[in-house]
Structure 1
Amino acid sequence: MSSGHVVIVGAGQGGLQAAMSLRQEGHEGPITLVGGEPGLPYQRPPLSKAYLKTGEAEKLALRPESFFETKAITLRPGTWVDAIDRAAQQLRIGSETLDYDTLILATGTRNLRPPIPGVERALDLRTLEDARTLRAALDQPRRIAVIGGGFIGLEFAAVAAGLGHHVSIAEAAPRLMARAVSPAMSERFRALHEGLGTELHLGNGVTEVTERGLLLADSVEVHADLVLLAAGVRPNVELAQQAGLEVDNGVVVDAMLRTADPQIFALGDCAAFPEAVSGRRVRLESVQAATDHARSIAKTIVKGDVAPYAAVPWFWSDQHDFKLQIAGLAAPSDESVALDDGAVLRFRGDRLTAVETINNAKIHMKARRLLGGDAVPARDTLLQRNYDLTAA
């Protein structure tokens, strides 16, 4: 049994899962969960979807306050860590120091704010406070412009269009969700959003946020009363970097999710880790990756280096009546095979890397099981079965 003091910096879903998993694995020592935002840890995914419609913030809490007392987890919300002293194994919080035996960095990401003139006029959608501001702004018909055609921007756009607002999306890439999905899947979502009445400006970056809306690279002006910036995120790595830990598009960790300092781990959106299949270093912006990381780290702390992290990544996005689900991790250059049932299989050479589906939980779950198995079927084998995953 482990008994040292574990401090977790970051009280999102990954940080909270780390605390819960430590107790589930049998950790008997103190656990401190430090979060920068006020209040209880809460779910972020509904902020761009259900919360905008209902405003029911109380349903977002991941655990009630009594849970932390019952599990002997010290929650410190509204608290910012200023520095890590690795030699002393201490955190500096203002004039206070906090000792740790093991430290878990779950610092997440923050919204990327590109150097566009007037970008300070745009609103964000990252925190509950951001969502409250946006929801209040949707109380009357508006012209809305969204900068960015990724998951968050499209989820917000679908809700806003469904509420009767006129929505425009400006995306610098030539297609929607270009980093995350295949061209075939991008096309299906283009048709969905245009069917909702949303005006799409693809391959056309924003050069200025003006008082009247957006100015695009082709000099077209998009008139808007409200602008949402959803142009991606950047990992919060400053604490790790200042402490001398390696940083490369995230806090660099090994297959056990441990940094070069054996007492410090990192998880979730801020962690750059070796993908189990290819070995390439990746950083995943996914609630599921964060919670899977947390469970793996907890086992390592309590039981030692039993097994490296090797969970199959998976993602989802709810946009209007489309539930996009992705099993696996494809690169933008991976080849695509679109099936009659709407699924898209991604391949890198002969290897299946990901499966994209819409409203097809059966195929999604089958894909996750296949990709997580000891022997993933090769492309030729799948072709012989007409790419029918249920027969694999």
Structure 2
Amino acid sequence: MRLVVVGNGMAGARLVSEVRARDPRMPVTVFGAEQGRPYNRVLLSNVLAGQARPDQLGLVDLSWYDTHRVRAVLGGAVAWIDRESRAVHTADGRREPYDLLVLATGSEPIVPPIPGVERAIPFRTLDDCDRIVKTAADSRRAVVVGGGLLGVEAARGLAGRGLPVTLLHLAGHLMERQLDPEAGLVLGETLAALGVETRTGVSAAAVERDGVRLADGELVEGDLVVLACGVRPLTGLAAEAGLEVRRGVVVDDELRTDDPSIFAIGECAEHDGTVYGLVAPAWEQAAVAADVITGGKSRYRGSRLVTRLKASSVELAAMGETHLTDEHAEVVRFSHRARGTYRKLVIRDDRLVGAILLGDTDAVGTLTQLYDRGGPVPGDRAGLLFPGPASAARADSPTLMPDAARVCHCNNVTKGQIRACWEAGAKDVAGVAAATRATTGCGTCREAVAGIVGWLCEQEGVPA
């Protein structure tokens, strides 16, 4: 069975490694539109903020392909799919036959069709990040267009480099997909204290030499303009090949399209009406598709999302159905704007179905476990928002954390799996990461993994 993978980003690269882990002999060819090795796009905001180097983002070394007998065609975009003869064709005339094909084409940044937009820099790829950093070095002020997750991270990163930043957002509050209006307001006030001015409910009409012209005629000054206006699934290849496409490439529980020899995963795929834009679902899909491709029986049932903002001095976690109101669910809130704190629980049928934690996130461990497991919520709702020493220990202490608790959400790694690989010889965080991939996604679980490893070492008298 010849496997061809179109796309060598976070979804495609993971799919290839998952297949190779299950079948060392299957012929595999992967096409990547970018020239270099696959990298962790989630951590681009860390590069922008100066907290990571570009060379620290690589997912695998290029030598990995040769070592694992994977043929990688980098910088060679696939132009069309011939479903009748089962082959993909590149723009430069290359033809690659397949028995099974996986589309992991990802998404592209949305660029608003406004005058002068070519002066702005989208924030999507490593090359984009490099351009932004170089331009920022000679800039006096920056404007970021788009106040979703990526836009907030970009604005905070540029402010951390000492640039005054104005963040423009069309919606009425920041991160409206994950946050309710009050949480968006508190987030904006938190960013203001860090050097980011937020303007919501405004529309960019043009990008000019001196900044962004708003629809009402006002000029927001800035000699660096960054676009973070969202992304759009790349579905052109699939649509031109006659596959079913709605918002994304439609797939079933095996991640197959309506052509059983073609799969789709990651940001280009639409499963049960949902297109996921985060890395954890893409990696879950990669594991399921790899299992099916190599003869397994796995099925994908959707993903439970926990969004973590990666911005220095801003702690934010959001999960599930955060927009439900008191008419449809039990909603428990606490807001202290002066301290930049907002906490919200959404409970339905005595189950936690959503939560927002902004500011101190000491409750995130307990809430994430409740959300993941879908178990009944304790009667003391206030105790969930403000965990005392006992409940905090249950969530955060390696001693009391159950083995089933998910520690790394990007890679779906539990405490029990970390314990097992430690017992198998991985005695430090690097070893655990190599064995389980924990910490290699967004990186927010690193402290928890280090705590578990340190506790295990202490229990056995092993030097940490």
Normalising by the residue count of structure 1, what TM-score does the alignment of the two structures yield?
A: 0.88
5+ residue gaps, structure 1: 275-280
1:51 touches 1:57 (CA, 8 Å); kept in 2?
no
- Residue 21 of structure 1 and its aligned partner are, at CA, apart by 0.8
Root mean square deviation, CA, Å:
2.5
Please give the per-residue CA displacement for 1:65-108, whole angstroms capped at 9, x wherever unaligned: 22222222211110110111112111011322111111111101
- Residue 369 of structure 1 and its aligned partner are, at CA, apart by 3.4
Match of 1:12 among 6, 9, 12: 9
Relative CO higher for 1 or 2, CA cutoff 8 Å, sep ≥ 6? 1
Q: Distance in 1 between matches of 2:305 and 2:198?
A: 29
Report matched runs for 1:1-392 at 5 Å: 4-26=1-23, 28-53=25-50, 56-94=53-91, 95-274=93-272, 281-327=273-319, 329-330=320-321, 332=323, 337-339=332-334, 342-347=342-347, 352-358=352-358, 363-373=363-373, 375-377=374-376, 381-382=377-378, 385-386=381-382, 388=384
**Structure 1's 252 and 27: CA in aligned 2 closer, same or farther, altered over 3 A?**
farther
- Residue 352 of structure 1 and its aligned partner are, at CA, apart by 3.4
2:136 touches 2:224 (CA, 8 Å); kept in 1?
no
**Structure 1's 198 and 384: CA in aligned 2 closer, same or farther, altered over 3 A?**
closer
2:253 touches 2:301 (CA, 8 Å); kept in 1?
yes
2:49 touches 2:160 (CA, 8 Å); kept in 1?
no
Identity %: 33
Q: Distance in 1 between matches of 2:318 and 2:120?
A: 30
What secondary structure sits across from 2:122 in the alignment? Answer: coil
Please give the per-residue CA displacement for 1:348-371, whole angstroms capped at 9, x wherever unaligned: 687633333347776434444333
1:48 touches 1:125 (CA, 8 Å); kept in 2?
no
1:326 touches 1:357 (CA, 8 Å); kept in 2?
yes
Q: Distance in 2 between matches of 1:67 and 1:323?
A: 36
1:338 touches 1:344 (CA, 8 Å); kept in 2?
yes
What secondary structure sits across from 2:257 in the alignment? Answer: coil
Q: Distance in 2 between matches of 1:219 and 1:306?
A: 55
1:245 touches 1:260 (CA, 8 Å); kept in 2?
yes
Please give the per-residue CA displacement for 1:121-152, whole angstroms capped at 9, x wherever unaligned: 21111111111111111214511111111111
**Structure 1's 305 and 359: CA in aligned 2 closer, same or farther, altered over 3 A?**
farther
What secondary structure sits across from 1:239 in the alignment? Answer: helix
- Residue 304 of structure 1 and its aligned partner are, at CA, apart by 3.6
- Residue 54 of structure 1 and its aligned partner are, at CA, apart by 5.5
What secondary structure sits across from 2:121 in the alignment? Answer: coil
5+ residue gaps, structure 2: 336-340, 386-390, 396-464
What secondary structure sits across from 1:29 in the alignment? Answer: coil
Normalising by the residue count of structure 2, what TM-score does the alignment of the two structures yield?
A: 0.75
